[in-house]
Amino acid sequence: MFDLAGQVALVTGSSRGIGLASARALGKQGATVILNGRNAVAVEEAVGLLREEGIAAHVAIFDVADVEGAKRVVDAKVAELGAIDILFANAGVQYRAPLFSVPQSEFERIVFTNLTAQWALGRHLAAGMASRGHGRIIFTGSITAILGRRDITAYVAAKSALHGVTRQWAAEFADSGVTVNAVAPGYIRTELTEALWHDEAFNAWLVERVPQKRWGSPEDIASAVVFLAARESGFVTGQILAVDGGTTSVL
């Protein structure tokens, strides 16, 4: 099960963290994987690592927030490698500040990168998937779009809307062989949360609050991504799969 041989997967934001672990997991299942980020050196290093592990990995440098530039790079990759069957639209950025200290321009930047850019690249690739009768689109949502949390207002706005887009696109593509789902990670130890894992008070809160009493790992998310990318999950669409050690299910 979950054999992805012959399929091409694009994972945005995959030079490290959840994206890199997911690209590796998709590659281990046989997919050809395209890794992305803004820092060429970091993406090339990540691709080098995966190739050493026997994975067919390729580099695609673009900023998802430069929508037209992103489409150009992705189209060139399609011309080189063939159609993209799986999109894990995972690139995302955080901005932590109290509500009244957030400039509107920062709110708009975070919403653009975490929502509009995902929507635009997703729509660009979904057209081809629908015309071929098969595709998998997976967004990275967040448990903070299920439960409120202070000091991350733009992030929550964007991720909540992404959860909505996931359900709406499930309707758009229901009869075309394309499934649209999201993973909603709990607290995962990556560079994005580095400030939090150095914060003793936060760690004490986390082991109290998370039923499994631990941080998640990027690999915890990668397994869910493989499931949602596989042909075998074809009857699953419009779902937000929380991967959070029980945080959003248990009081």
| Order of strands, sheet of 86-89, starting from the edge strand that comes earlier in the sequence | 57-61, 32-37, 8-11, 86-89, 135-140, 178-185, 240-243
155 is catalytic: yes
**Can you tell me which of 68, 191, 200, 208 binds ligand NAP, judged by CB under 6 A?**
191
Comparison of 90 and 233: residue with beta carbon closer to ligand NAP = 90
Is residue 112 a contact residue for ligand NAP (CB under 6 A)? Answer: no
CA 78 to chain centre: 20
Is residue 17 a contact residue for ligand NAP (CB under 6 A)? Answer: yes
Q: Where are the beta strands (DSSP E) in 112-238?
A: 135-140, 178-185
**Can you tell me which of 3, 6, 39, 219 binds ligand NAP, judged by CB under 6 A?**
39
Tell me how many residues contact ligand NAP (CB under 6 A). Answer: 30
Comparison of 13 and 27: residue with beta carbon closer to ligand NAP = 13
CB 183 to ligand NAP: min, Å: 8
**Can you tell me which of 63, 71, 176, 227 binds ligand NAP, judged by CB under 6 A?**
63
**Can you tell me which of 36, 153, 181, 233 binds ligand NAP, judged by CB under 6 A?**
36
Sign of the alpha-carbon torsion through 2, 34, 141, 172: negative
Task: Phi first, then psi: give them for residue 143, nearest 5 degrees.
Answer: -70, -15
Candidates 75, 39, 32, 70; CA nearest to 54 is 32
CA 17 to chain centre: 10
Q: Which of 155, 169, 173, 215 is catalytic?
A: 155
Judged by CB under 6 A, the stretch of 49-57, 58-66, 123-131, 232-240 that binds ligand NAP is 58-66
> On the CB side of 231, how many CA atoms lie within 13 Å of its CA?
11
Is residue 193 a contact residue for ligand NAP (CB under 6 A)? Answer: yes
Comparison of 191 and 200: residue with beta carbon closer to ligand NAP = 191
Active centre residues (catalytic): 155
